[in-house]
Structure 1
Amino acid sequence: MAGRRLEAVDCELAAAEDWRLPGRVVERVEARGKNLLIHCAALEGAGVEQPGGLPVAIWTHMGMTGSWHSYRLGEPWQLPRERARIVLHTQRRVLPCFSPEALEFLGPRGLARHRVLATLGPDLLDPDADLDGPSPGSALWARSRSATRSCVSRRSPGSATSTSRSLLFLARPRSLFASESVP
């Protein structure tokens, strides 16, 4: 998706028109737990004062039932079109988002001040995550600096159980897998 131009955007929110999404290039896609951010560049040639002159992030929170799908042009969809809250069109793909818990468009200031995103700690499974320094807005992370304690925070991306299991798998402690440790 990174580097692709949005040819068209179908969205139920009027804010999609305000941000002038068609024509923007996707800079990167960032998953943070159940949050997905699609970062789009400012429109080429648009000044900061003009619509489309600022970069925008499309923020979706998947909740328990939301999902993004990716289809080739003309490929049949697995879910009904009316359940898609936003559909991104590129030259080769159609990307609908079905039943997200939240959908917003965030400019640079909105992204920095967002009530949910500002409180998330680092992604514990990201190999480049700064696990030694405090994460903005996460008091638990700043106090403890402990991956284990941050897993129990409701604001850590992912559930405590799945994140703990993933960390244990990556660490591969021998005592958990050694045959002599099984009674």
Structure 2
Amino acid sequence: MPEGDTIHKLATFLSGALVGQRLDSARLQGRAIAALAQDRILGISSKGKHLFIDLEGGASLRVHLGMYGSWHRYPVGQAWQKPKRRATLVLSASGQDYVCFNAKEVEILETRGFKKRDQTDRLGPDLSRDAPTPESLLHRARTLLTPETELVDLLLDQRIASGIGNVYKSEILFLERCEPRTRFGAISDETFGALYRTAERLLLNNLGGGPRVTRTADDGRGILWVYGRAGKPCFRCGTSLLRERLGQHARSTYWCPTCQ
């Protein structure tokens, strides 16, 4: 499940492979994007869950993988591991196909245009890059949200801070001992700051290779505290963990009814 750390790592990898390269072709939903052919890639960056690919002709591709999207690289002509019908975006350069499968959104923007500025400006600071202060995030939250907003929705709101996804949401709430349905207006400034400091720490700790890890105990019992562990015992207290679809978008949330 791609979250901010995944997109950060992806931007780093694609930058090393593609920046400075000239596209041989570009295809969106199977159709050639003639306007991008032969353009040189000037930069690749991420903000939260969004990837931006800037081209010398003035266009910028915005890619949001959603829950199921992924990028693959293949030598041109090699068979792909997924069906071509699932290829949302294909960039070909220097004998390689860079294939984005099952993306939630791909949009062509003007690199210096209003729409791209609006797209990036309305996102909160990227916790894996920007090191925002808790005070600045609290100001954004109080400006944009009502006190009745549940914590499950607060943490997933990319306008406050970008990069937190559904896995981190559950892990952060567990580590800070917050009941998921607690209202934003009911927590202290200190608890708010602790939630986002933990989020930043987890994202930064997972910018290397390998699977996403929030639990580092070398006991063979798992690398996540609660996510995906419904019905299993809590690592802290032994209580069976719960799973329920909570919040505005009814996303799966895992938590310990005793510790939280």
TM-score range, shorter chain: 0.5 to 0.7
Specify whether residues 21 and 134 from structure 1 end up closer, same or farther in structure 2 by C-alpha distance, changes over 3 A only.
Answer: farther
Specify whether residues 124 and 23 from structure 1 end up closer, same or farther in structure 2 by C-alpha distance, changes over 3 A only.
Answer: same
Task: Structure 2: give runs of 5+ residues left out of the alignment.
Answer: 1-17, 145-150, 173-197, 206-214, 217-235, 238-260
Task: Structure 1: give runs of 5+ residues left out of the alignment.
Answer: 43-54, 144-148
Give the SS at the match of 1:70: strand
- Establish whether residue 28 from structure 1 lines up as the match of residue 43 from structure 2: yes
Q: Partners of 1:76 and 1:13 in 2: how far apart? A: 16
Q: Partners of 2:136 and 2:56 in 1: how far apart? A: 28
Q: By how many angstroms is 1:5 displaced?
A: 0.6
Q: By how many angstroms is 1:153 displaced?
A: 4.8
2:80 to 77, 80, 95: 77
Structure 2 counterpart of 1:139, one-letter code: R
Instruction: From the two aligned structures, give the one with the greater helix fraction.
Output: 2
1:113 paired residue number: 118
2:233 paired residue number: none
Give the SS at the match of 1:158: coil
Q: By how many angstroms is 1:79 displaced?
A: 0.5
Under a length normalisation based on structure 1, what TM-score does the superposition of the two structures give? Answer: 0.66
Structure 2 counterpart of 1:36, one-letter code: L
Structure 2 counterpart of 1:16, one-letter code: I
Q: Partners of 2:131 and 2:117 in 1: how far apart? A: 18
Q: Tell me if structure 2 keeps the 8 A contact 1:70–1:93.
A: yes
Specify whether residues 142 and 14 from structure 1 end up closer, same or farther in structure 2 by C-alpha distance, changes over 3 A only.
Answer: farther
Specify whether residues 77 and 15 from structure 1 end up closer, same or farther in structure 2 by C-alpha distance, changes over 3 A only.
Answer: closer
1:91 paired residue number: 94
Higher mean C-alpha displacement, 65-74 vs 5-14: 5-14
Under a length normalisation based on structure 2, what TM-score does the superposition of the two structures give? Answer: 0.48
Deviation digits for residues 16-59 of structure 1, max 9, x if unmatched? 34xx10111111111223211111112xxxxxxxxxxxx11111
Give the SS at the match of 2:98: strand
1:16 paired residue number: 33
Q: Tell me if structure 1 keeps the 8 A contact 2:127–2:199.
A: no
Q: Partners of 2:78 and 2:163 in 1: how far apart? A: 32
Give the SS at the match of 2:33: helix
Q: Partners of 2:204 and 2:155 in 1: how far apart? A: 18
Deviation digits for residues 134-175 of structure 1, max 9, x if unmatched? 69xx933989xxxxx9x725112232536735615858xxxx
Specify whether residues 158 and 75 from structure 1 end up closer, same or farther in structure 2 by C-alpha distance, changes over 3 A only.
Answer: farther
1:131 paired residue number: 132
Specify whether residues 22 and 95 from structure 1 end up closer, same or farther in structure 2 by C-alpha distance, changes over 3 A only.
Answer: same
2:164 to 144, 158, 164: 158
Q: Tell me if structure 2 keeps the 8 A contact 1:9–1:88.
A: yes
Q: Partners of 1:93 and 1:39 in 2: how far apart? A: 19
Q: Partners of 1:5 and 1:69 in 2: how far apart? A: 19
Specify whether residues 119 and 169 from structure 1 end up closer, same or farther in structure 2 by C-alpha distance, changes over 3 A only.
Answer: closer
2:64 paired residue number: 61
Aligned residue pair count: 151
- Establish whether residue 39 from structure 1 lines up as the match of residue 54 from structure 2: yes
Q: Tell me if structure 2 keeps the 8 A contact 1:68–1:96.
A: yes
